Amino acid sequence: MGLGPSIKMTTLHHFRCPVTEALAKDEEVEFTGIIVDGVSDVFDDKVYTAKRVGDIAQCMRTDAAIVAIDGWGNHHVDFVNIVEQSGIRGIPSVGLSYIGQQGRLVCTNNYMDCIIDFNKSVSGYESCVVGENNLTDYDAMKAVALVKNKLRKSGKPVNEVKALEERNLRRLTRKVFNIKQVQFDSHTNIERGILTLRKGMEQEILQTEIRIKSLKIDIIKPGEHDRFVNSNLDYSPIACKVRGELGEGITHLLRGVTVMVTGVEDVSGFQPSNIGSSEGILKEKVVLDRAGTPGTEDYILHVDVLFKEGEGRTAEGIMAAHRSAERVVQEIRKVLADLDNMKYTREELYDIAKPGKRKVILVKITSGLGNMYDTTMFPDEPGGFIGSHNMMTSQNVPYVITPNQCRDGAIHTLL
Amino acid sequence: MKLTTKPGMQSEIFVPITPKPVFTELKKPLSECKIAFITAGGIHKKDQTPFNTSGDFSYRTIPFDTPSDQLMVTHGGFDNSDINKDVNAMFPIDRLHELVKEGFIGSLADETYTFMGGGGNVEKFVNETGPEIARKLKEQGVDVVLCTGGCGTCHRSATIVTRCCEEAGMSCCVIAALPPIARQQGAPRITAPHVPIGSNAGEPNNAPQQTAIIKESLEWVRDCPSFNATKVLPYEYRHNV
């Protein structure tokens, strides 16, 4: 995940990734795929993984790339290397990064000629407000326009092509159920837009989590944000697979409710964070309605974790918090999977091959430094954590995922 | 040359500026030199105020006779677990005392200065913190300054302060885990061991490796032919978190 709270891309952000949406709906180019590259903590590995991204991009016959990142400082070494390695292989790119004042590039190269700075704050410094300096739809729109401009400059204008028949490679059906109210009661249920959550799940979860001292599950009503919360670990969607694997088949999704995981350490009071923690009054510590944060009208399913002392700073502790939150979501998934007596909106999402059209890819640079800066890939359920593969332990070798896999929650961010 | 047509307009396109060369040739044998070691890696004494991890341009004064177990790290930009195991991985104070005893270096400064360079305010480091640390080291008669930095922006802050020391007439070297940053930000001399960010001075609890990295960095201060030259060191370490 991102370095500081204001730029961090949550699991929800990747699930609703603005660049993925902008590229997927663009009719002039083919959105060939997404490369997910982890940031390593050894310089040699940063260069190595960047070269592999270049190789993969070339094998995908990429005409141009959009490279997006939610870190700066050492993360920018990976960023500039990927742009360079793509450039060497004749692939022009548009960078998307937080720069401002604090994130000014620490190093660069001759290929680094186009970055969209998605800093949103006046000071140009990271803040502790989740979502404040997030990549938005507007930034994504600029990136797509600039990438077409770059294609034109490299002699591959998007309008001078002989387009052949398009092929649907994969279909993902999303059935979206609208939730109007969330409440506690004796058993978990979804009916007529009301999500009811069983009380007393905390103790069951704690029994198998030795790093967590206690757990609190809470429901926050829309607008009731004048309350203290601990440092944010993640925002994520509530969704489950009904048929097929991530990126295809059928997914059920709840709209109107978002999961928020927060945490603090016992005794020391340490708030888990990388650069700056985001504890405080909720309404002052989150910008709502971003891709990666809850909407103004959303209920928030709040899972607050009290780590045993020291465990708010270990990878295992952070993962235990994500796992615990997901066990709450699992309880909801059990009823969500079989939900058939409620109205829903149907969304059909396609991965489309467009022979003849220019091929554009998205490179997502995510953290894989280990400890608390990490990303995991391909959980069992959309936006989940359980069953996923850790970026750092796979040594940050890049993944290729389809746009639909991204939109079906294949990326989970830790902290 | 006029670069903008409208005042106050900021370009979204980043334009890199490599700073002007600074270079002070070392004219004494290392065995007669007074050495100081500074770090941007967020090291401070346990009884001192921790750094603000979201950006801090203040510094802490560390007497060189501080026992290494009295030191700790406060830094948000990288995995701190190596430094928590052994502070010498970033700030090799024990190794430096051994080198004095061995006669490899003449002496150590009485005190040194540490800061947390992650996300640091560039202008503050260039105009305030850097010159102040340089002046305080120069007043102690320091000849050689070695420096480490943890994360990416840390390497930048580390390089800025190192350049101030070089300008003040001391010969300096940045021991970099991310050498391209030190190079681009204009470090006078750079050594680059193959280590993860956060363990610039070598594997925790691996004294021979830490000693070798410091010795070769000191020798590079002596032998480096010109500004901004990098020497890649043959030491490799990877940590498993």
Q: Taking a C-beta distance cutoff of 8 angstroms, is the pair B137, B162 a contact?
A: no
Residue ranges making up the domain that contains A308: 172-345
Q: How many CB pairs under 8 A join A and B?
A: 127
Q: Is A365 on the interface with B (CB under 8 A)?
A: no
Q: What is the pLDDT along chain B (241 residues), one digit of tens a residue?
A: 565 566 665 555 555 567 899 999 999 999 999 999 999 999 999 999 999 887 889 999 999 999 999 999 998 878 888 899 999 999 999 999 999 999 999 999 999 999 998 888 899 999 999 999 999 999 999 999 999 988 889 999 999 999 999 999 999 999 999 999 999 999 999 999 999 998 999 999 999 999 999 999 999 999 999 999 999 999 999 876 5
Question: Are A48 and A192 in the same domain?
Answer: no
* Contact at CB, B194 and A3, closer than 8 angstroms: no
Question: Are A378 and A337 in the same domain?
Answer: no
Q: How confident is the model at residue B8, as a pLDDT?
A: 62
Residues of chain A with C-beta less than 8 angstroms from the C-beta of B156: 73, 106
Q: Is A367 on the interface with B (CB under 8 A)?
A: no
Query: CA-CA distance, B190 to B37, in Å (whole number)?
Result: 14
Question: Are A376 and A282 in the same domain?
Answer: no
Q: Is residue A396 part of a domain?
A: yes
**DSSP helix/strand/coil, A153:** helix
Q: Is residue B2 part of a domain?
A: no
Nearest to B13 among A44, A104, A115 (CB): A115
Q: Is residue A2 part of a domain?
A: no
Q: How many domains does chain A have?
A: 2
Region label for A301, one of left (φ > 0), alpha (ψ between -120 and 50) or beta (otherwise)? beta
Question: Are A294 and A251 in the same domain?
Answer: yes
Question: Are A210 and A331 in the same domain?
Answer: yes
Question: Are A183 and A321 in the same domain?
Answer: yes
Among A286, A319, A345, the domain boundary falls at A345
Q: Taking a C-beta distance cutoff of 8 angstroms, is the pair A414, A319 a contact?
A: yes
Q: How many domains does chain B have?
A: 1
In angstroms, the Cα distances linking B169 to B26, B139, B172 are 10, 11, 9
Question: Are A20 and A165 in the same domain?
Answer: yes
Question: Are A111 and A201 in the same domain?
Answer: no
Nearest to A116 among B12, B179, B239 (CB): B12
What confidence tens digit (pLDDT) does each residue in B188-202 have? 999 999 999 989 999
Question: Are A366 and A334 in the same domain?
Answer: no
**How close is the nearest chain A Cα to the Cα of B12, in Å?**
6
Q: Is A43 on the interface with B (CB under 8 A)?
A: yes
Query: CA-CA distance, B56 to B50, in Å (whole number)?
Result: 10
Query: CA-CA distance, B210 to B68, in Å (whole number)?
Result: 14
Q: Which of A412, A415, A375 is nearest to A392 (CA)?
A: A375
What confidence tens digit (pLDDT) does each residue in A173-228 have? 999 999 999 999 999 999 999 999 999 999 999 999 999 999 999 999 999 999 99
* Mutation target among A8, A69, A70, A74 for the B interface, most CBs of B within 10 A: A74
**How close is the nearest chain A Cα to the Cα of B139, in Å?**
31
Nearest to B54 among A4, A43, A44 (CB): A4
List the structure tokens of A43: 């310089």
Residues of chain B with C-beta less than 8 angstroms from the C-beta of A118: none
Residue B240's identity, in one-letter code, is N
Residues of chain A with C-beta less than 8 angstroms from the C-beta of B14: 99, 104-105, 108, 112, 115, 117
Residue ranges making up the domain that contains B42: 37-236
DSSP-derived secondary structure letter, A256 = S
* Contact at CB, A371 and B79, closer than 8 angstroms: yes
Residue ranges in A295-384 assigned as alpha helix (H): 315-336
Q: Is B196 on the interface with A (CB under 8 A)?
A: yes
